[in-house]
Amino acid sequence: MARINETTIRPADWPADLNGVRACFSAYIEWLGEDLTFQDYGGEWDGLPGKYAPPAGALLLAVDGGDRILGCVAVRPLELGPDLIGGRRRDLGVCEMKRLFVYPEARGRGLSRLLVRHAVRKAEEAGYHEMLLDTLPRMHVAIGLYASEGFVTAEPYYHSPLPGTIYMAKRLGRENKGLFHLVLSYTRGHDPAG
């Protein structure tokens, strides 16, 4: 667990955190303002923890000293099959980061970065060698955060009906960190966040 001024990053406790996780996901969807029915959001909601259950998945919460949820992030296994685009082959060593969200009143304290780092660490501990994510062009702060944490633009790994969806990937494991620091130092002058 990591602490920032009485803030802790911890795994969700099932079923005790179910309502809090649902509230956080709901706030994320409302903030996003996009129709996510193509992601079977209802099935995800009803089946929590579902694919986010350990050991293959993780749902991490940022909580304050009173255990109030300030934000969340999730990791799930991603089975890439031939129906997915981008020329990727079926690979069980790939995971996806989902639902990164920090409530507005808790922003500006580095919680998103901490949640991303913990999600990456959990994925590495689970044995994944690559983490994928998708985001939207208007999410400049998130794109900058992901790039600063070693994610690079990638080919689409599924078809999104949301215009301009940006796909990003990060190779996991100690042996890959140097490569991404090199890529970041090269691309810093061309910040995708503007």
pLDDT per residue rounded down to tens, the chain (194 residues): 555 568 999 999 999 999 999 999 989 888 887 777 767 777 887 899 999 999 999 999 999 999 999 999 999 998 766 555 555 554 569 999 999 999 999 999 999 999 999 999 999 999 999 999 999 999 999 999 999 999 999 999 988 888 899 999 999 986 544 333 333 333 333 333 33
Structural domain count of the chain: 1
- Pairing mode, strands 130-135 and 152-153: unpaired
The pLDDT of residue 181: 36
User: CA-CA distance, 127 to 180, in Å (whole number)?
Assistant: 19
Q: What is the extent of the structural domain holding 65?
A: 2-190
Question: Are 70 and 111 contacting, i.e. CB atoms less than 8 angstroms apart?
Answer: yes
User: CA-CA distance, 176 to 140, in Å (whole number)?
Assistant: 25
Domain with residue 44: its CATH number is 3.40.630.30
